[in-house]
Amino acid sequence: MMGSGDPWPPSQVLLNVGGKKYATTVDTLTQREPESMLAAMFSGRHTVSTDDETGMIFIDRDGKHFRHILNWLRDGVIPTLQDSESQELLREAEYYQLLGLVDNINTSLNKRKDNDGSVAELTRTEIIKCIQSDRVRFRGVNLSGLDLSKLDLSFVDFSYACIRKTNFSRANLQKAKFGDAEAEDSVFHDAILRECELIGANLHGALLDRANLQSANLQDACLTECSLYEADLRSAHLQSAKLTGANLKGANLEGANLKGAKLNSANLQGANLQRAYLREVDLRDSKLDGAKLGGANLLGAIR
């Protein structure tokens, strides 16, 4: 046990943070953030208990992120983490009173909010006013999170737009353009998307249950983890589309072109794939119970 006022020896410091063991030095713990709780602990001003057998100092905190704390104290860098993990690290930084780290994490989180397309540039009312005009274009516009359900948006150009978590349920989107749009987690339940252009669009996690996508062009689109339950995809173009983990249960893909598409781990139970073009399609681990494959071209398909 180090008594109050005793200078801390310059040797290695062994820490047990919530069961996770770390080794560092007094200089690391005290120099970058001299006003922090850790600097105070090892300043010699306070009594710090060590385990008699291991010589370790126990800190009753979750040790998961303490390595990031040490890396900050050593090098002054913050890790690239998911928002949820950044929030966890922020709580630890606040507990240890590491004000420099707290400021850097908050700055990083605020930059992400500015760049993640979370704030729409227009309102539903403004959209309704816009669609009164001919040749409506929202190319590259941020419409994330808006409720655009039940609107007539046929022929509207959403190419390159950011429409994450936008609600298009029951909207008429016939012949609309979504080329290279960012539409992650958007909702298209019962929407009309006939002859839509969705080339290269990112629809990861989107909900398209019972949507009408007849003759739509989804070439090179990303539809991973999306739901297309009972969707109408007759004669749709899905060449090289990514449908890994997608739910296509009961979907109608009759005559669709899926050449080279990724359908591994997809749910195709009860789907209609009659006369579909499935050459070189990846069907590994997909569920095909009850699927109709009469007349389908499966040459080179991976199963």
Question: Given phi > 0 = left and psi -120 to 50 = alpha, else beta, which region is 112?
Answer: alpha
Per-residue confidence (pLDDT) for residue 115, from 0 to 100: 60
pLDDT the model gives residue 9: 54
List the end-to-end C-alpha distance of the chain, in Å, as a whole number. Answer: 65
The residues, ordered by sequence, that sit 6+ positions from 237 with a Cβ below 8 Å of its Cβ are 215, 216, 217, 218, 219, 256, 257
Phi, psi at 7, each rounded to 5°: -70, 140
CA-based nearest residue to 278, from 294, 264, 260: 260
pLDDT at 10: 55
Q: What are the phi and psi torsion angles at 256 (to 5°)?
A: -75, 150
pLDDT in tens, the chain (303 residues): 444 445 555 568 999 999 999 999 999 999 999 999 999 988 878 778 888 888 899 999 989 999 999 999 999 988 888 888 889 999 999 999 999 999 999 888 877 766 655 578 888 888 888 888 777 899 999 999 999 999 999 999 999 999 999 999 999 999 999 999 999 999 999 999 999 999 999 999 999 999 999 999 999 999 999 999 999 999 999 999 999 999 999 999 999 999 999 999 999 999 999 999 999 999 999 999 999 999 999 999 998
The predicted pLDDT at position 2 comes to 47
Give the whole-angstrom CA distance, residue 249 versus residue 31: 60
Strands lying side by side in the sheet with 57-59:
20-25, 12-17, 57-59
Backbone phi, psi, residue 137, to 5°: -130, 130
The residue count of the chain comes to: 303
Picking from 161, 155, 157, 190, the residue whose alpha carbon sits closest to that of residue 175 is 155
260: helix, coil or strand?
A: coil
Report if pTM > 0.75: no
